[in-house]
Amino acid sequence: MRQAVFLIQTNDRIGLLAEISNFFYSRNCNILQCRQYTDIRENKYFMRVAVDLNAAMTCRELESEFEALAAELKLTTYQVFHSGVRQNMAVMVSKTSHCLYDLLVHAEEGDLDCRIPLIISNHPDLEPVADRFRVPFFCLPIVNGDKAAQEARILELLEHHRIDLVVMARYMQILSDDFISRYPQRIINIHHAFLPAFQGGNPYERAWERGVKMIGATAHYATAELDEGPIIEQDVERITHEKDPDDLKQIGKDIERRVLTRAVRAHLEHRVICSGRRTIVFSR
Amino acid sequence: MRQAVFLIQTNDRIGLLAEISNFFYSRNCNILQCRQYTDIRENKYFMRVAVDLNAAMTCRELESEFEALAAELKLTTYQVFHSGVRQNMAVMVSKTSHCLYDLLVHAEEGDLDCRIPLIISNHPDLEPVADRFRVPFFCLPIVNGDKAAQEARILELLEHHRIDLVVMARYMQILSDDFISRYPQRIINIHHAFLPAFQGGNPYERAWERGVKMIGATAHYATAELDEGPIIEQDVERITHEKDPDDLKQIGKDIERRVLTRAVRAHLEHRVICSGRRTIVFSR
Amino acid sequence: MRQAVFLIQTNDRIGLLAEISNFFYSRNCNILQCRQYTDIRENKYFMRVAVDLNAAMTCRELESEFEALAAELKLTTYQVFHSGVRQNMAVMVSKTSHCLYDLLVHAEEGDLDCRIPLIISNHPDLEPVADRFRVPFFCLPIVNGDKAAQEARILELLEHHRIDLVVMARYMQILSDDFISRYPQRIINIHHAFLPAFQGGNPYERAWERGVKMIGATAHYATAELDEGPIIEQDVERITHEKDPDDLKQIGKDIERRVLTRAVRAHLEHRVICSGRRTIVFSR
Amino acid sequence: MRQAVFLIQTNDRIGLLAEISNFFYSRNCNILQCRQYTDIRENKYFMRVAVDLNAAMTCRELESEFEALAAELKLTTYQVFHSGVRQNMAVMVSKTSHCLYDLLVHAEEGDLDCRIPLIISNHPDLEPVADRFRVPFFCLPIVNGDKAAQEARILELLEHHRIDLVVMARYMQILSDDFISRYPQRIINIHHAFLPAFQGGNPYERAWERGVKMIGATAHYATAELDEGPIIEQDVERITHEKDPDDLKQIGKDIERRVLTRAVRAHLEHRVICSGRRTIVFSR
């Protein structure tokens, strides 16, 4: 079954749902799922439409006809994704393997619809993990503090492998603004705290010192401001006074892995739209 | 702002969303929220549309025009609700007050959009609670085992007060099939277990004996089969081996009250459609 | 059954559990529950012992003998609480009733073991709520900006009613350092955010702007630094992009009430020990 | 640091805590953690004591002296475990890999303290997974319906590898009573439902039909009665009407893996005592 997903973002006005659903109906495309959200405060309209393509029409034809509709309706922006086109995901790691494993296992079990053509790290430690899943591993340390050179090499690899999504699975370096600007809303980072609490380093240690009763993790799109990007997914777990920072780290691993995997899944399934610092995450 | 909510249930076919959204658009009614769900296994389509009524059209006019559309589209069934018409809710209780309090407090704080014209009980114990909130309290015990007579009296009261929704807030009697059939999908019961586990009596005692690690509560529409009605809402809480049945009862009170109140809210906001033994509960 | 609870805090060293449990055993006092926690990082030992007093010994006798043991063991500090002595709790509110209701209802249902001899507010709005539960209500606005005078009047009332615990149930004023120092670790405040995120004002608005995917509430002891006191209890709820700040406020009400009530219960049951900015909260 | 854990189960009487803690104190063994639980309904006492062994005493000496104490105190039963003795865990699987992966990854990351000398399956499908982690894989199908022969072969392997714990990680066969009786309270099974709801086959399909609003998973010790063994751990996740049985299966995978891994961890850390159909699971 050929399917396509349309992600639409525009100013709200009456009739959008009718005109867009008509468009597909008149072309005999069955709407499989349609989700809308109106942000009344900012008068914005967001929409995700999944359609079943009828046999008589090519993707390209549908897209070009939709382009005409978009112009007519003055849609601010939209994206179209076709089923059958698997996305390429690069994973960046440093030394801890828990998030990487969770991504690899979910991908292998068919719960993340993507290819993983490469894993990139600034340390050699996780090469054996990559080997197990037969994923090429590139160890690219920062040599003599020349981060620009390292990033250039990474960007080259990403381009070469036609990467659609970069996942920072506990990659302990801060990417440069330039790097991030090459992949807008296509780099997902996991922060090991419930943002905006404990931005920056050592969140588990600081959570222990503050005496919080729950700890959490946050997956967000990377932006130029550290830990300030649009949040895709968060989760928490209850802790007691008995847990010391090492316990928090261990408990946190399970939170981090599920939060990151869920965020990646939402992105891969074309369910996320960014609107300023906020994300619209349509449910499956 | 005058609003109306349409709850629609029909067989699935292509174009429903387009035709229905067109209907409202062509009448200049802004769609405030539109939720759809297609049950592929049973080929059913469910829809909730909230619209802003334009000034030039009365509710009655809109309804009668929609009736024509419904006939044309062969909709299986639909309901229309108008804003500004507050529903009347009767609460039935026995001796425990926690659910009753939660309903009364949420209603008073504006978090449940309804009037509560009466509270009915088979025991006098909770009259002081009713008094506090100035709600008439009717104590209707079953005399000489004549349940039919008691139920007749209750039905009379419900009719007299034009009751739209009956909430069994830990009313410890089983209603007759006849009683239930008078208020189809309009009687909500709270069962103090995570159904289908621990149907019937003494669920906390049985949960303790089984050694479960979580206990729960379930709000469902009452049907002729005890504890078998369509589930609207459930929730659970983690327990440890240290909790004895009395502790479970106390912990359970907090689960019961929030589950019942959430289910009642979903019903009052016209977000629930029954489909056989299952419910479609659209999110707010 | 006469019971006593001992809350002990001291430097850790070998044999504390043996010596303290021996003390009770040799006096024929059955230990009903004993919880210990060793903070290895700071070499501190915390203990809560609940004992059944044998018939032959008065509370006073037991206490005085324990005093001798404490001196011998060089315990840093300890407290003794006797069953049958109900604590007096004052509730301070402003205009929103949800937390107040939850405390009143739980107290009435026997789930909070305390007396509530008075409710204090800087606004008259909630007097009807107090009336319903027949609790004296004192409206003490800040007149001509003279907060010191208002606080003096409140302190007088607290003293007069021999208040053990002050609960700020959405009291929208900041208490002076002097006021707080009179009730060290005996003033519980509810903050409507998941601290340390969104300290200060308008947390729901700021949570919406930041686009978080969960909101929370935090109950803590009030200290001189605003929102920096030792945390007793926290909880969160998942939200979606569809919730605007008003929705967050409504969802938050249910989080706030349960977090505050749980924290108050833990305090009333003598299950909380403060250690710097952290709390040890023993489970029931 | 040499440590030992004592798991004790006996009838409750006054003085147990004092006498047992004295025993360790008088031998200069520091108590690292001590947890007790008294089941008042059945007058039973349960205790877990973790001690740091002083340099001057061998494990064997301590054990033999404790044996004398146990006789004196008439302890019903107790077990001693020594640090530094890693347990051997066998994993039994059929065709689905999610639970197996979670166990292997957690073991490798040091979050499960055990060796995994072998994986046993009635199907060849998961051999590649075992290979990745270099764990010997034994494919032992049931040939000609001769289950007894297959189980005999499995038991032989378990014995040969001195297996301490058998984990049924979605092994889709029912073990014979005889097999189970060889490993009492040492076989952990994961059931893909929130027991006692949906015992037996096809729980996700049945959960969908019943229209529950949460699904769960249960890890329990295997006993002769199917799905009736003592529960170690349970968890749930919220679902909506939109999820069909295949979705539930996918969501359930994440619940199953974390529930099973947590239960296995509790067992490996000697935190579980069985008491009839119930388990005492001491927190870490």
Q: So where are chain C's domains?
A: 3-82, 87-281
Residue D186: pLDDT above 70? Answer: yes
Residue with tokens 């479960």: B212
Residue with tokens 């909430």: B167
Tell me what pLDDT residue D57 has.
82
C283 touches chain B (CB under 8 A): yes
Window 258-277 of C: residues touching A by CB (8 A cutoff) are: 277
Q: ∠ CA(D55), CA(D59), CA(D64), 5° rounding?
A: 125
**Under a CB-based contact definition with an 8 Å cutoff, are residues D209 and B195 in contact?**
no
Tell me what pLDDT residue D106 has.
98
Q: What does the pLDDT average to over C186-201? A: 96
> How far, in Å, are C66, C113, C196, C219, C232 from residue C273 at the CA level?
19, 18, 20, 14, 10
Q: How far apart are CA B243 and CA B251, in angstroms?
A: 9
Residue D245: pLDDT above 80? Answer: yes
Q: How far apart are CA A258 and CA B242, in angstroms?
A: 30
Q: What does the pLDDT average to over B107-135? A: 97
B196 touches chain D (CB under 8 A): yes
Tell me what pLDDT residue C55 has.
67
Q: What does the pLDDT average to over C25-32? A: 93
Q: Which fold has domain B87-281?
A: Rossmann fold (3.40.50)
CA dihedral for B21, B22, B23, B27, sign (positive or negative): positive
**Closest among B49, B80, B75, B76 to B64, alpha carbons compared:** B80
A241 touches chain D (CB under 8 A): no
Tell me what pLDDT residue B160 has.
98
Which residue, among D46, D199, D214, D225, would best test binding to B if mutated, counting the most B CBs under 10 Å from its CB?
D214
Tell me what pLDDT residue D53 has.
85
Hey, which of B25-29, B81-85, D260-264 has the most confident mean pLDDT? D260-264
The residue type found at B137 is F
Q: How far apart are CA A89 and CA B256, in angstroms?
A: 45
Contacts of A256 (CB under 8 A, 6+ apart): A98, A99, A170, A190, A192, A217
Residue B150: pLDDT above 70? Answer: yes
Residue C161: pLDDT above 70? Answer: yes
Contacts of C145 (CB under 8 A, 6+ apart): none
Neighbours of chain D (3+ CB pairs under 8 A): A, B, C
> How far, in Å, are B38, B139, B144, B172, C29 from residue B125 at the CA level?
47, 9, 20, 13, 39
Neighbours of chain B (3+ CB pairs under 8 A): A, C, D
Residue with tokens 């407090």: B105
Count of CB pairs separated by less than 8 Å, B with D: 83
Q: Which of D212, D233, D244 sits opposite B41 (nearest CB)?
A: D244
Residue D55: pLDDT above 80? Answer: no
Q: Which of C41, C198, C214 sits opposite A236 (nearest CB)?
A: C214
Question: Is A53 or B240 the better-scoring residue by pLDDT?
Answer: B240
Helix (H, G, I), strand (E, B), or coil: what is residue C75? coil
**Under a CB-based contact definition with an 8 Å cutoff, are residues A233 and C213 in contact?**
yes
Kindly tell me the burial class for residue C284, based on how many C-beta atoms sit within 10 Å of its own C-beta (0-12, 13-18, 19 or more). Answer: middle
Number of other CB atoms surrounding residue D130 within 10 Å? 23
Question: Across the interface, do D25 and C31 touch by the CB < 8 Å criterion?
Answer: no
Q: Which two tokens stand for residue C64?
A: 């005085």
Question: Across the interface, do D253 and A133 touch by the CB < 8 Å criterion?
Answer: no
Q: What does the pLDDT average to over B223-228? A: 91
B49 touches chain D (CB under 8 A): no
Q: What does the pLDDT average to over D19-27? A: 96
CATH 3.30.70.260, domain C3-82, yes or no: yes
Q: In what order do the strands lie in the sheet with B187-191?
A: B137-139, B114-121, B87-93, B165-168, B187-191, B214-221, B231-238
The residue type found at D274 is C
Tell me what pLDDT residue B83 has.
86
Contacts of D39 (CB under 8 A, 6+ apart): D12, D45, D46, D275
C280 touches chain A (CB under 8 A): yes
**Under a CB-based contact definition with an 8 Å cutoff, are residues D203 and B222 in contact?**
no
Question: Across the interface, do C213 and A281 touch by the CB < 8 Å criterion?
Answer: yes
Residue A55: pLDDT above 70? Answer: no
**Under a CB-based contact definition with an 8 Å cutoff, are residues B128 and C108 in contact?**
no
Residue D48: pLDDT above 90? Answer: yes
- Tell me the helices (H) and strands (E) count for chain D, helix number first: 8, 13
Residue D131: pLDDT above 70? Answer: yes
Kindly tell me the burial class for residue C260, based on how many C-beta atoms sit within 10 Å of its own C-beta (0-12, 13-18, 19 or more). Answer: buried
pTM, two decimals, is 0.97
Closest chain B residue to C242 measured between Cα atoms? B284
Tell me the nearest-neighbour CA distance from C247 into chain B, angstroms. Answer: 10
Residue D235: pLDDT above 90? Answer: yes
**Under a CB-based contact definition with an 8 Å cutoff, are residues A81 and A5 in contact?**
yes
Note if the bond before D196 is cis, omega within 30 degrees. Answer: yes
Q: What percentage of chain A exceeds 70 in pLDDT? A: 100
Task: Give D261's DSSP letter.
Answer: H
> Can you name the residues that pair with B91 across neighbouring β-strands?
B119, B167
Active site (annotated) includes residue D227: yes
Residue D85: pLDDT above 80? Answer: yes
Tell me what pLDDT residue C2 has.
86
Closest chain C residue to D37 measured between Cα atoms? C33
Q: Across chain C, what does the average pLDDT equal?
A: 96
Q: How far apart are CA C97 and CA C76, in angstroms?
A: 40
Tell me what pLDDT residue A70 has.
97
CB-CB neighbors (< 8 A) of A31 in chain B:
14, 17
**Closest among B73, B122, B66, B60 to B94, alpha carbons compared:** B122
Question: Across the interface, do C284 and B242 touch by the CB < 8 Å criterion?
Answer: yes
Tell me what pLDDT residue B74 has.
96
> How far, in Å, are A248, C87, D163 from residue D124 at the CA level?
38, 66, 22
Tell me, what's the ipTM?
A: 0.95
Q: Which two tokens stand for residue A64?
A: 């070009």
Give the tens place of pLDDT for each residue, A147-206: 999 999 999 999 999 999 999 999 999 999 999 999 999 999 999 999 999 999 999 999
CB-CB neighbors (< 8 A) of C191 in chain A:
none
Residue A54: pLDDT above 80? Answer: no
A109 touches chain D (CB under 8 A): yes
Q: Which two tokens stand for residue D219?
A: 């890890």
Q: What does the pLDDT average to over D207-227? A: 96
Q: What percentage of chain C exceeds 70 in pLDDT? A: 100
**Closest among C249, C257, C278, C203 to A213, alpha carbons compared:** C278
Residue A74: pLDDT above 80? Answer: yes
Q: Which of D211, D244, D278 sits opposite B277 (nearest CB)?
A: D211
Give the tens place of pLDDT for each residue, C223-251: 999 899 999 999 999 999 999 999 999 99
Q: What percentage of chain C exceeds 90 in pLDDT? A: 94
Q: Across chain B, what does the average pLDDT equal?
A: 96
CA atoms in the 13 A half-sphere facing the CB of C145: 0
Tell me the nearest-neighbour CA distance from A5 into chain D, angstroms. Answer: 18
Residue D188: pLDDT above 80? Answer: yes
Q: What does the pLDDT average to over A101-126? A: 97
pLDDT band at B59, cuts 50/70/90?
confident
Q: Which two tokens stand for residue A133?
A: 């899943």
Residue with tokens 């007691």: A240
* DSSP string for residues in chain B: --EEEEEEEEE--TTHHHHHHHHHHHTTPEEEEEEEEEETTTTEEEEEEEEEPPTTS-HHHHHHHHHHHHHHHT-SEEEEEETT-PEEEEEEE-S--HHHHHHHHHHHTTSS-EEEEEEEESSSTTHHHHHHTT--EEE----TT-HHHHHHHHHHHHHHTT-SEEEESS--SPPPHHHHHHSTT-EEEEESS-TTTT-SS-HHHHHHHHT-SEEEEEEEE--SSTT-SPEEEEEEEE--TT--HHHHHHHHHHHHHHHHHHHHHHHHTT-EEEETTEEEE---
Q: What is the 3-state secondary structure (H, E, C) of A67-111?
A: HHHHHHHCCCEEEEEECCCCEEEEEEECCCCHHHHHHHHHHHCCC
Residue with tokens 């589930």: B231
Q: How far apart are CA C35 and CA D18, in angstroms?
A: 14
Q: Which two tokens stand for residue D149?
A: 């022969």
Q: How far apart are CA D129 and CA A132, in angstroms?
A: 9
Equal CATH topology for D3-82 and D87-281: no
Q: Which of B21, B32, B36 sits opposite A18 (nearest CB)?
A: B21
pLDDT band at D56, cuts 50/70/90?
confident
Cite the active site residues of B. 227
> How far, in Å, are B154, B157, B164, B226 from residue B140 at the CA level?
8, 11, 20, 22
Tell me what pLDDT residue C29 has.
92
Residue A1: pLDDT above 80? Answer: no
When mean pLDDT is compared across B95-104, C80-89, D64-73, the lowest value belongs to C80-89
Q: What percentage of chain D exceeds 70 in pLDDT? A: 100
What is the signed CA dihedral for C207, C209, C210, C214, rounded to 10 degrees? 40
Note if the bond before B141 is cis, omega within 30 degrees. Answer: no
Question: Across the interface, do A277 and C211 touch by the CB < 8 Å criterion?
Answer: yes
Q: How far apart are CA C280 and CA D199, in angstroms?
A: 40
CB-CB neighbors (< 8 A) of C109 in chain B:
97-98, 101, 253
Residue D256: pLDDT above 80? Answer: yes
C18 touches chain D (CB under 8 A): yes
